[in-house]
Amino acid sequence: MYIRSDTPYKTIHDVRGASTPPKCTATATGTTGHYLPKLLEETIGTKFQIILGYPGGPEMDLAVERNEAQCRAFTITAWYSGEPDQSWRKNGFAHLLLQTGRKRDERLPQLPALYELMDPYKTAETERRLAEVVLASNIFGRPYVIPLGILQSRLE
């Protein structure tokens, strides 16, 4: 999750303690932009105002540039893949708040992982299990669901 650097939210701890939640962009419910802020609320007690309805990533980034929103949840791969993130990293426009992997990405050794934050914030076992399920796609990818009886040729 990235956030504009000119906000008062320098760390995920700042978001958790804020009286006014940052606005994050999302295309719709069920997307990364929606479920990650919700997961953080459930597991470590942060608060976000999620603004739904953006058509896609470029429009969400533009909303952050225009300060209509301050943050966006997406992948570390996307953060390192191109523009505008490359320029934003270079000029300090935005920074990352946390990562969701089991261990820290080698490119971001200073950035806490969600799993590290659950102990100090005393996350209950139920919410820890919720994080396991929600973030499982980070481990095994996104599953395909197919009907029973599908032809072998179609399956291949």
What DSSP assignment string belongs to 128-153?
HHHHHHHTTHHHH-PPP---TT--HH
What single-letter amino acid sits at 120?
P
Per-residue pLDDT tens over the stretch 100-136: 988 899 999 999 999 999 999 999 999 999 999 888 8
> Which percentage of the chain shows pLDDT scores above 90?
78
Q: Where are the domains of the chain?
A: 2-155
The whole-chain average pLDDT of the chain stands at 92
Reported as half-sphere exposure (CB side, CA atoms, 13 A), residue 111 has a value of: 17
Q: Which CATH number fits domain 2-155: 3.40.50.620, 3.40.190.10, 3.30.40.10, 3.30.160.110?
A: 3.40.190.10
Residues pairing with 71 in the sheet: 3, 24
Taking the C-alpha atoms of 61, 65, 70 and 76 in order, what is their torsion angle to the nearest 10 degrees? 40
Pair of tokens at residue 98: 């946390």
pLDDT score for 142 = 64
Among the listed residues 77, 113, 79, the one whose alpha carbon sits nearest the alpha carbon of residue 94: 79
Give the start-end residues of each E strand in 5-124.
Answer: 23-25, 49-51, 71-72, 94-96
pLDDT tier for residue 138 given thresholds of 50, 70 and 90: low
**The pLDDT of residue 145 is above 80:** no
**The pLDDT of residue 148 is above 70:** yes
Q: 3-class DSSP state for residue 36?
A: helix
